[in-house]
Amino acid sequence: MHGSRPLKAHRNNRKSTGMRTHDRQSIHGQWSSRLTFIMAATGAAVGLGNIWKFPYLTGIHGGSAFVLVYMLCVAVLGIPMMMAEVMLGRRGRQTPINTMRTLAKEANAGQGWQLIGWFGTLAGVLILSYYSVIGGWTIGYIVHAATGDFSGLSGDGATSLFGDFVGNPWIQVAWHTAFMLITMFIVARGVQSGLEKAVSYLMPALLVLLLVLVGYAMTTGYFMQGLAFLFTPDFSHFSGTSMLTAMGQAFFSLSLGMGTIMVYGSYLPKDISIAGTSVAVALSDTMVALIAGMAIFPIVFANALIPGAGPSLIFETIPVAFGHMAGGTFFGTLFFVLLLIAAWTSSISLIEPAVTMMIEKFNMTRRTAAVWTGLVTWLLGLGTAFSFNVWAEVKMGGLTFFEQIDFLTSNLMLPIGAIGMAIFAGWVMSKHVSREELGMNSAAGYFIWHALIRVIAPIAVSIVLLHAIGLF
Ligand code: PFF
């Protein structure tokens, strides 16, 4: 879901100048309730990351150990980071670049802190460049599902259907273009409230369909094997890279380290508990990922598919499930439509920072800014579209173009952005300000958060980063 407009804004155009800083109001309004914020932030967080990426990364990194480390990262780093990001946003009440500038000034710190905002803006464009290609896959699979291509499909059949699909560069470019067009259409119009309202019904529907898939997975006879793969600790396939990937995935899935959650925080009314809402969002996001895993792996084992198949994993398993289900054509089509919508709403939040930056810095109209950012992102995305076919063998450091961009953004840029925010919230911002803004009643709770954000998060994230790039 996008990050720039609350569902129901009560307009409040008070300027921040001349007011006590903690009374600053967003010029875009506020969330109408705590639940609205939780729904919107969960909508932004839930996307391809939960349903496409989490299962395939789990498969590549050997299952349960990855899941365990992922959950640990969500609990120890993700939740405190989300609290910090929401807190910075609510304090600054502007776009990430301006929020960081204002907060740095308030703390008598250098203007260099704005770089966090710039860095996140760039990360969003880079992520969207490949997110759009995978979003395009969901459109292609709506067509396959609707035309009955899944019916009676075997594991091998699904693998070759996917192979033919990604093997054709023209098809890849066509669906990538379609996905970018629908994203930029909404971004250019700047009218997102209708979409958001729709999403609050559609995302629960996606969850129901995932549960239907779990129901199917239970009938395969391999459900327990799937659960064991996900939950019986086994570190034999776990490496330093797995550790970094689990951490990167926690940031990616929760949309942290980029400024998106900061924007959401900027609309949060003063009296809402940041801790409680962050925990709720993180739990819902993680639950969706785990449910997707519970649906996928039994189907993988039942059909002799490979858990470590990579990005193709859900596109090879879900069609088999629907292909053997009564009403599978209908439910299969519906599933990919809902997945497309989940991807679409996340894609809007990925590009929105770049678009607002272009409007503010270059005085462009929203439409012109959307066209330019969309064009640059589309061009970059061609690299990913081709990395599954004509450029499949073009590698740097053993990684294809898609793998490079994914590694750079999830495993480096988001964690580095998160370290920046943690250092700012833990060291630059005074305790008095962060405590007041977080509004935590419990002194012990605040103490734990502060220790995690000031010491544990920067150190742990740095160690994992340095270890993975081979520095120790
Ligand atoms: N969290 C989204 C997902 O799991 O698909 C991806 C994402 C959206 C990452 C927005 C970062 C972001 F700012």
Total count of domains within the chain: 1
Give the CA distances from residue 184 to residues 301, 324, 356, 374, in Å, rounded to whole numbers and listed in that order: 39, 36, 13, 6
Mutate to test the pocket of ligand 1, among 122, 255, 287, 344 (most ligand atoms within 8 A of CB): 255
* C-alpha dihedral sign at 315, 316, 319, 321: negative
Residue 436 located in a structural domain: yes
Q: Determine if ligand 1 sits within 6 Å of the CB of residue 49.
A: yes
How far is Cα 376 from Cα 372, in angstroms, rounded to an integer?
6
Residue 26 located in a structural domain: no
- pLDDT tens track of the chain, all 472 residues? 344 444 343 333 333 333 444 567 676 667 777 887 788 788 889 999 999 999 999 999 999 999 999 999 999 999 999 999 999 999 998 888 999 999 999 999 999 999 999 999 999 999 999 999 999 999 999 999 999 999 999 999 999 999 999 999 999 999 999 999 999 988 888 756 666 666 777 788 888 999 999 999 999 999 999 999 999 988 888 888 899 999 999 999 999 999 989 988 888 888 888 999 999 999 999 999 999 999 999 999 998 899 999 999 999 999 999 999 888 999 899 999 989 988 988 998 899 889 888 888 899 999 999 999 999 999 999 999 999 999 999 999 899 999 999 999 999 999 999 999 999 999 999 999 999 999 888 899 999 999 999 999 999 999 888 877 777 6
Alpha carbon 178 to chain centroid distance?
21
Ligand 1 centroid distance, CA of 157 (Å) = 31
User: Can you give the pTM of this predicted structure?
Assistant: 0.91
Q: Determine if ligand 1 sits within 6 Å of the CB of residue 350.
A: yes
Q: What is the pLDDT of residue 16?
A: 37
Ligand 1 centroid distance, CA of 326 (Å) = 33
Residue 339 located in a structural domain: yes
Ligand 1 centroid distance, CA of 471 (Å) = 28
Show the domain range for 123.
Answer: 34-468
Q: Determine if ligand 1 sits within 6 Å of the CB of residue 343.
A: no
Residue 16 located in a structural domain: no
Residue 19 located in a structural domain: no
Atom of ligand 1 nearest to the CA of 254: 1
Q: Determine if ligand 1 sits within 6 Å of the CB of residue 252.
A: yes
Residue 222 located in a structural domain: yes
Q: Which residue carries 């997102």 as its tokens?
A: 192
Residue 6 located in a structural domain: no
Q: Determine if ligand 1 sits within 6 Å of the CB of residue 255.
A: yes
Please, which contacts does 23-27 make with residues 24 or more away whose CB atoms are closer than 8 Å? 24/91, 24/92, 24/93, 25/93, 26/93, 26/94, 26/266, 26/267
Q: Closest residue (by CA) to atom 13 of ligand 1? A: 255
Ligand 1 centroid distance, CA of 2 (Å) = 10
Residue 431 located in a structural domain: yes
What's the CATH number where 297 sits?
1.10.4160
Helices (H), 147-168: 155-167
